Structures are given as C-alpha cells and as structure tokens.
Structure 1
Amino acid sequence: MNQPFEQEDAVDVSKMIKKAKRKTTIRTVSISLVVSVAALFGVIIGNQYLTSSSYERAMHSEQLMSRISGPDQVQTGQVNFSGFLNGTLQTYKAKVIEGVLVPWADQKMNYNVLPLPIFSSMGGSTRQQSVSLPDENMQKQGYEYTRSYNGLSGQREMMFYIPGVNYNGKILNDLPLLSEMDLDKRVEMGISFDKEYSLDEAKQLIPRGLTQTWYWVDTYDNRAFYDPKQDGNGKLSYATPEPENWIKGFGVYAPDPVEVSGKQFLDALQQGIHIKGLYHYEFNRIFDYLRKDKNSPEESDIRILGVVVTGTAKQLKSLSGQPYVRGATLGVVVDKY
C-alpha cells in the first residue's frame, strides 16, 4: 500500500536534486562570468597603465636623443599606437632653415612593457629615410662614397669629417657651389674643423653674419675604428664621412646661438642614463667618454669638431679660404619665401 507514496517521494527528491543542480550551475556560471568580466577589466586597466608608462618612457627617451642629435631639426607632431603590452611611437620632424620649414623625418619606434618581441605588423624601428645617389664629379675624382639625400624633401644631407682621420684625401668642399646658385638662397652647411676646439673658440671662428645653429661634439671613443684597413684584395679601405643623422651635438634653431652652452648636452646625457630607455647604452657610452676619470663630465670636457651654419649663399661665401675649414658640405637649400 505504501508503494505509490514511495514513488512520489522519489520523484520529488529527483526534482529537488535537479533544481539544486540548476541553481548550482547558474550560480557557478554567474560567478565565473563576474570573475571573467572583472579579470578582463583588470587586464584592460593594467595594460593601459603599463603601456602608458612605457609610452611616456619611450617619448621622453626620444625627446632626449633629439636634444643631442638631428642638426636643425624640430618635432612637428607625434602619434602613439598602443597594443597589448607594446606600442609604436611615430614622430614627425622638420628642419628650420632661416625661418623656412622643410619636411625631414617620419620615424617609428616600437616600445615594450616586457623585454619580449613585439607581435605586431609594425615591428622594428624606422629612422630617418635617406637615399644615396651617385655624383658624376665625385666618381671622376675616385671618391669611395656617394652623397645622401633626404627621402621626404629631396634635399641634400650634410656629411662630416673627424679631425685626424685619414679619408685618403677625399674630402668634399662645397663652398665653390655657392657661386653657382642664386646668392639670396637660404643655405644650410656643415663645416668640419681641422682640429677640435672649445665651444667658445668655435663660436669665435665663424665669420659674423652667419647663424651658428648646431655644434658637433667629439663622442668618438674608438678612433682606431676609422683607421685604413685591408679590404681583402690587397688594397686599403679608407673611412667615409659621418652622415648628419649619426653625429651627436647640440644647438638651437632660434637665431641667437650665443645662449647655447654645453650644459644642455650634459643634462640630456644624465637624464637619458637615468630613465634607462631605448638609447640608454648610447647615453652612457658618451657620458663615460667625456668624464674620463671623473665622476661626471664638465662643460670644459666638451670638444667641438664642427659646426652647422645657415645664411644666404652670399653670406656663406665668407667661409672660403678659412684655415679651420677641413670639409664643407651643403645641406638644405631653400628660398626665403
């Protein structure tokens, strides 16, 4: 007589178990969903914070390097593309030649939160774009190198000759070219000195009327690298000049170079060492070279190897015949308007 009741009890228990399982499943799924959303939100916030910090370090590092490189260049804009634990900083630069703006560089620099490869379609780092073109006169005279032109503006890029380095007599002097152009043209020219000078001495060398915009600093801790070497065919291979985007120095694009001092160069080095960014090794190498056996370098330790000057073609002709000019190469040439 109790069998029907026992079956009903069994059914009720089964329903209760199923209901409890559903509640447990719903609760488990709800908790998992909440935890997943919270974790995702945390990852997004964490990634934003970490990439933002890496971006700030990369941007600061790039700004500091710009302070000791890139003659006559100014930054005209930047864009940041951030991803997951990495990003790409793109900067735009121009040259200012006697008040005239000339497009010059479109650079991309990758940065990482962690020391891992960047898994991105924009891997690597793109620096200034240059194009080397043959020069008929240089070829006739047996030059082992060619001129470089900026890939964005088509303007010539300056080259510099380290004092004491053997270039096999192949040193350019573009000063005669000034007479072949409109004398009212605004011209940028890189002057390589015959020897190293102090900053005050370098300022006094340049004729009045020319704007001294940038000073090339001796940062060459391994001069033996530039010695002539056997090329494998029994011939000597000689050094080639330094492209303007390789050299280090300091200056301004404002028309008052008298206020320029070596302190801004040393300050940039110290800050670059402190932030430990992309160029940390280079900042540290130059700092150690300048300080020698001291704790830190002084302004008197800075030696000037050359200068970048601007002015009209007519004004720059005053450099002709100056004994301190070892090499002179044209850079940007523009009209005033």
Structure 2
Amino acid sequence: MNGQHKENDSVNVSKMVRKAKRATTIRTVAISLLVSLIAFFGVMLGNQYLTSWSYNRANNSEQIMNLISGPDEKQTGQVNYSGFLNGTFQYYTAKVIEGVPIPWADRKISYKVFPFINFVTFGGDTSQSVSLQDENMKKQGYEYTRSYNGLNGQREMLFYIPKVDYNGKILNDLPLLQEMDQDKLVEMAISFDKDYSLSEVKQMIPPGVTQSWYWVDTYDNKAFYDPYIDGNGNKSYATPDVEDWVKGFGISHSDSSEVSEKTFLEALEQGVQLKGHYQYEFNRIYNYLKKDKAKPDESDIRILGAVVTGTAKELQVLNGQFYVRGITLGAVVDKF
C-alpha cells in the first residue's frame, strides 16, 4: 500500500510540475507578446513622431526658401510619403501671371530623421529646366542657351548682374512682344544697369506695368563672374543667372504698393534661425547684407532687377527706358 501511495504521490507531483511549467510557459509567452506589442507600438509611435518632426523641419525650410525665390511662383498642393525614419514630400507650384495660373514645378524633397542613416531612398530635388539652342543666339555668338520649363515648355527668365562682363551678349526680348497677340499676358525679367533702392524702382517703372517680383543683390563673391582663361587658352565670360538661382521677394496680393524689404528680411531671419536644409545659403546672404552690423536692415536691400507682368502691348512701354540693361521673356498666357 505504501508503495502504491508513493507511486500516486510521484504521479501527482509530476502532473503538478508539468502544470506549473505550462502555466509558466503560457505566462512567459503572454508577457513576451505583450512586451513585443508594446515595443512595436512604441517604435511605430516613435517613428511617427520623429518622421513628422523631420518632415515639418524640411517643409518649413522649403517654405521659407520659397519666400525668397521662385519669381511669380505659388504653391498649389503637397503630398507627403513617410517611411521608417525618413520620407519624401512632393509639392506643386504654379506661376500666376496677372491672375492666370499655369502649372510650373513638381518637386520631390527627401528628409531623414538621422542624416547619416539611410534605410530607403525615396527621391530628391528634381530639376525640370531644359536648355535649348536658339538659332539667332547661336548666329550672334552667344555662349549660352535659352532655358525652358520642362513641364509646359514656357521660357524661363534670365538675369544679368550689373557691371558683370557678359562679352556684350545680353538679350533684349522686347521686340518679341510686337510679334505676338497684343492681348497675351506676359512675364518679363528686367535686369537694371545698376542697383537701386526699392522706392526708386517703384517710381521709375512706368505705371500700368505690374511689378510682381524684385531681384535682390545677394552676391557676396562677384569676382566669380569675372572673365577667365579656360583650359584651351580661350577667354570665357559669365552667363546670366536663370530664374531658379536668383533671390528676391514679390507681391502676395494685387496691391503691389504693400510689398517692402521687410518681406525679404523676415524670411531671411526665419531661415537663419531654423538651421535647416538651406542653412548655409541663408547664413551667407544674411552675413553679406549685414556686413559688420548685428543684423541687416531695409537700407541693405539693393534691387538688381524686377519681374514685371502685363499684356504684350502694355509692356512695350519699357522700350528705351534708361535703367534696362537686359530684358528677357518668361511665361506667356492667354487672358482666359
């Protein structure tokens, strides 16, 4: 009997041990699953927070840069694609010529939480300009070509810095206005003979011509544009800046009298403080304008040119104006 009791006790103990092991295993698995779920959602929430922070930083940087670049451009929409610790956003712009919008740019900007880690590459900045040879320019010995928007085929404006030697190859597109429908709405870039204050520019451009954007002197190294001897022993000259390169500010509504140098300075200050993607460019311009002062002021803003809009007929009034060094055609649209 005692032997049977001992055997039963041994069986019961074995059952209890197996039961305890199963319970421990189940508890361990349950705890592991719970911890894994918590960790998973923690990683997901952390990734969402960090990518949102990185996106907002990159987006703010683009928005501020757009305030001092892109003559006559307005943002029309945006799509954001976020991944793990990085992502890309795509935004669209249109040019607005006398109230008429035309699609202009489709840009993709990548952003990363940690710049030195790259899990997936979604894309980058895209350039949509196309350079094409102009036969008349070629015959006259121009060393550069026309630039066109790759999405819609419209011309892109060119800008000539005062006193820079372009070997006499400076375009004057005003005669083209006589060859088109006089009711066409036109955008043109005027490059001045020298720098002016904003108040001087507003007064000297004829009434009836819309002053939509002002080109600011941000050139801290004008010696870069000096002629030089290339590797073949030939003398090379500067070429004009395309509209994507120049910096300035413009009107945000129909009343151009409201625009002032503060528009540019406030955007510049924001860019410097953000320390984002364009930190070097914002700091370079800021330091150039302020010189040895603590910060730049409105008197430091010098205007090298302006973008004007109106009908082909209205803009012909610019012919023969003393301050016009060069003038190039941009977008052309119909009224309706």
Report the CA distance between 1:15 and its aligned residue: 2.1
> Structure 1 236/117 Cα, relative in aligned 2: closer, same or farther at 3 Å?
farther
Residues 117-164 of structure 1: per-residue CA shift (max 9 Å, x gap): 4433523222x4111111000111111111011111210000001111
The residue that corresponds to 1:141 in the other structure is 140
The residue that corresponds to 1:67 in the other structure is 67
What 5-or-longer segments of structure 2 have no aligned partner? Answer: none
1:66-215 correspondence to structure 2 within 5 Å = 66-126=66-126, 128-215=127-214
Report the CA distance between 1:108 and its aligned residue: 0.9
Residues 136-193 of structure 1: per-residue CA shift (max 9 Å, x gap): 0011111111101111121000000111111111111101111111111111000000
SS in 1 for 2:110: strand
The residue that corresponds to 1:293 in the other structure is 292
The residue that corresponds to 2:40 in the other structure is 40
Q: Distance in 1 between matches of 2:239 and 2:50?
A: 43
Q: In the alignment, is the contact (CA less than 8 A) between 1:72 and 1:253 conserved in 2?
A: no
The one-letter code sitting in structure 1 at the alignment partner of 2:129 is S
SS in 1 for 2:156: coil
Report the CA distance between 1:111 and its aligned residue: 1.2
Q: In the alignment, is the contact (CA less than 8 A) between 2:108 and 2:123 conserved in 1?
A: no
Give TM-score, length-normalised by structure 2.
0.97
Residues 232-264 of structure 1: per-residue CA shift (max 9 Å, x gap): 000011111101011000011533211110001
1:311-322 correspondence to structure 2 within 5 Å = 311-322=310-321
Q: Distance in 1 between matches of 2:265 and 2:121?
A: 37
RMSD after superposition? 1.3
The one-letter code sitting in structure 2 at the alignment partner of 1:214 is W
The residue that corresponds to 2:282 in the other structure is 283
Q: Distance in 2 between matches of 1:100 and 1:298?
A: 34
The residue that corresponds to 1:223 in the other structure is 222
Q: In the alignment, is the contact (CA less than 8 A) between 1:193 and 1:326 conserved in 2?
A: yes
Report the CA distance between 1:334 and its aligned residue: 1.1
SS in 2 for 1:84: coil
Report the CA distance between 1:9 and its aligned residue: 2.8
Q: Distance in 2 between matches of 1:92 and 1:12?
A: 75
Residues 63-83 of structure 1: per-residue CA shift (max 9 Å, x gap): 111110000011111111111
Q: In the alignment, is the contact (CA less than 8 A) between 2:189 and 2:330 conserved in 1?
A: yes
SS in 2 for 1:294: coil
* Residue 27 (structure 2) pairs with residue 16 (structure 1): no
Q: In terms of mean alpha carbon deviation, does 315-324 or 206-215 score higher?
A: 315-324
Q: Distance in 1 between matches of 2:230 and 2:19?
A: 86
SS in 2 for 1:52: helix
Q: Distance in 2 between matches of 1:194 and 1:187?
A: 22
The residue that corresponds to 2:231 in the other structure is 232
Report the CA distance between 1:116 and its aligned residue: 2.7
Q: In the alignment, is the contact (CA less than 8 A) between 1:269 and 1:283 conserved in 2?
A: yes
Q: In the alignment, is the contact (CA less than 8 A) between 1:211 and 1:311 conserved in 2?
A: yes
What 5-or-longer segments of structure 1 have no aligned partner? Answer: none
Q: In the alignment, is the contact (CA less than 8 A) between 1:96 and 1:253 conserved in 2?
A: no
> Structure 1 317/117 Cα, relative in aligned 2: closer, same or farther at 3 Å?
farther
Q: Distance in 2 between matches of 1:111 and 1:58?
A: 6
Q: In terms of mean alpha carbon deviation, does 9-18 or 299-308 score higher?
A: 9-18
4+ runs deviating over 4 angstroms: none
The one-letter code sitting in structure 2 at the alignment partner of 1:287 is Y
The one-letter code sitting in structure 1 at the alignment partner of 2:175 is P
Q: In terms of mean alpha carbon deviation, does 63-72 or 269-278 score higher?
A: 269-278
Q: In terms of mean alpha carbon deviation, does 88-97 or 53-62 score higher?
A: 53-62
Count of residues paired in the alignment = 336
Q: In the alignment, is the contact (CA less than 8 A) between 1:198 and 1:303 conserved in 2?
A: yes
Q: In the alignment, is the contact (CA less than 8 A) between 1:47 and 1:84 conserved in 2?
A: yes
The residue that corresponds to 1:335 in the other structure is 334
